[in-house]
């Protein structure tokens, strides 16, 4: 269980898109395969065109390998001060140990997801420069990551057929956040992301509620379910929003249409679970869990 708690230094990346609990993230880092998540243009993004909400490390200056602090643990093999390059970061901003991150004790690096914030800061906010020339870009990462995470959640909500009646509001919120994310560094620094999240969360919860209609909608929001045995349980439409599911046994559970917004799934065993139409489950959450090969 030690491994599950010692990497909290990543809270530098800020609060999650729900209530007040905080995410734990490690950096996937340059060269890490990106999750298959993409805001797919016209249908979900209205008039904005396509906005990529997945990491494109090749277009980034390795921001997540520099900005955060690491606490030496079973997730990170070293201590690292904030705004200091990880010693494994190459001069080309690629991870030099990418192929053996887990073996070398950097499990935390495997599960980070910046939702495309890194390359947006590098390419758009700072016009292709790096933190070497513009160290202030490092402080923008937690802000932009939260904005992009919200955009990812809104994009997911827009995909839900049952949430059709809140779609205009979802689309407006998405456009607004995307616009804000395109601001100057000073404008980004001045943003009250918490207030934005407070405005968006009810919309997301409404969409989730609609999408889970017809199920028991069991409420595990914010629940402490660390190590909980739920093997084979009927959890259709359950809300695990912000729940701590660290090390939980969910093998063979029926999780269809369950809402996993911000749930901490580190070490949760999802083998054999039915994840059909599951809501707001990110690729990084899945990487943190135990899943079928």
- Least Cβ distance, residue 92 to ligand SF4 (angstroms): 11
118 or 247: whose CB is closer to ligand SF4? 118
Options 12, 16, 27, 280; binder of ligand SF4; rule CB under 6 A? 27
C-alpha to C-alpha distance for 290 and 265, rounded to whole angstroms:
9
Site string (89-128) toward ligand SF4, x via CB under 6 A: x-----x-x---x----x--x--x-x---xx---------
Phi, psi of 229 (to 5 degrees): -90, 110
- Least Cβ distance, residue 182 to ligand SF4 (angstroms): 17
100 or 229: whose CB is closer to ligand SF4? 100
How far apart are the two ends of the chain, measured CA to CA in Å? Answer: 23
- Least Cβ distance, residue 159 to ligand SF4 (angstroms): 23
Site for ligand SF4 in 40-99 (CB under 6 A): 55-57, 60, 62-65, 86, 88-89, 95, 97
C-alpha to C-alpha distance for 108 and 159, rounded to whole angstroms:
30
Query: What sections of 113-136 are H helices per DSSP?
Result: 117-119
- With both helix axes pointing from N to C terminus, report the angle between 167-181 and 137-158 in degrees, rounded to the nearest 10: 160
Q: Count CA atoms within 13 Å of residue 136 on its CB side.
A: 8
Q: What is the DSSP letter of 33?
A: P
Site for ligand SF4 in 220-279 (CB under 6 A): none
Q: For residue 56, what are its two tokens?
A: 């494109």
The residues of the shown chain that bind ligand SF4, judged by CB under 6 A, are 27-30, 55-57, 60, 62-65, 86, 88-89, 95, 97, 101, 106, 109, 112, 114, 118-119
């Amino acid at each position: 269980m030690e491994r599950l708690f010692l990497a909290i230094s990543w809270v530098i990346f800020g609060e999650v898109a729900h209530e007040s609990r905080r995410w734990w993230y490690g950096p996937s880092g340059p060269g890490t395969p990106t999750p298959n998540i993409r805001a797919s243009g016209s249908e979900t993004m209205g008039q904005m065109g396509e906005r990529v909400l997945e990491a494109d490390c090749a277009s980034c200056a390795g921001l997540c390998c520099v900005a955060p602090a690491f606490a030496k643990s079973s997730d990170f093999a070293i201590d690292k001060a904030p705004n200091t390059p990880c010693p494994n970061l190459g001069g080309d901003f690629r991870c030099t140990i990418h192929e053996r991150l887990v073996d070398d004790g950097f499990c935390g690096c495997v599960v980070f997801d910046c939702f495309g914030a890194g390359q947006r800061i590098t390419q758009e906010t700072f016009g292709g420069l790096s933190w070497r020339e513009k160290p202030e870009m490092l402080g923008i990462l937690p802000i932009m990551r939260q904005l992009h995470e919200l955009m990812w959640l809104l994009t997911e909500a827009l995909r839900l057929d049952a949430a059709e009646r809140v779609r205009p509001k979802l689309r407006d919120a998405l456009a607004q956040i995307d616009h804000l994310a395109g601001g100057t560094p000073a404008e980004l620094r001045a943003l009250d992301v918490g207030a934005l999240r407070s405005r968006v969360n009810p919309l997301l919860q409404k969409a989730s509620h609609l999408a889970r209609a017809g199920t028991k909608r069991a409420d595990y929001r914010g629940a402490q379910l660390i190590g909980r045995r739920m093997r084979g349980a009927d959890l259709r439409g359950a809300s695990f929003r912000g729940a701590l599911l660290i090390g939980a046994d969910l093998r063979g559970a029926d999780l269809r249409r369950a809402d996993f917004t911000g749930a901490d799934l580190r070490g949760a065993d999802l083998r054999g679970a039915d994840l059909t139409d599951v809501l707001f489950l990110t690729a990084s959450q899945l990487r943190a869990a135990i899943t079928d090969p």
